[in-house]
Amino acid sequence: MYAIVEIAGQQFKIEKDRYLYTHRLAGEEGAVLVFDKVLLVDNDGAITVGAPTVAGASISAKILAHVRGEKVIVFKKKRRKGYQKQNGHRQNLTKILIEGITI
């Protein structure tokens, strides 16, 4: 059983007892979240597609940790002009555990 759900503006394919990294979510570590923007549910071959969401479907997840992603280096250069600029970025993420999918 899997589902397509929208979390923090992004769509994810989720399954029960899987870990997921999303953009930083509000809540303390150990808190339980419920997502109700379920777009598609596959229950052993029986696919239910929402218009735009599946009525009555929800996802429960537990916040495990607030972490930061890997560093991304942004390097800009214009040749023959002496212009170089380097910048780094680390995205704030939330690690969640999918506890259940209810239809």
Average confidence (pLDDT) over 35-57: 87
Per-residue confidence band for 54, with pLDDT thresholds at 50, 70 and 90: confident
Q: Which of 25-34, 51-60, 67-76 has the highest mean pLDDT?
A: 67-76
**C-alpha span between 86 and 78 (Å, rounded):** 12
Residue 50, token pair as written in the block: 């929402």
Residue 80's Cα: distance from chain center in Å?
42
pTM of the model: 0.78
pLDDT at position 70 over 90? yes
Residue 33's domain spans which residues?
2-102
As a whole number, the mean pLDDT across the chain is 92
Counted domains in the chain: 1
SS3 of the chain: the string is: CEEEEEECCEEEEEECCCEEEEECCCCCCCCEEEECCEEEEEECCEEEECCCCCCCCEEEEEEEEEEECCCEEEEEEECCCCEEEEEEECCEEEEEEEEEEEC
pLDDT of 45: 83
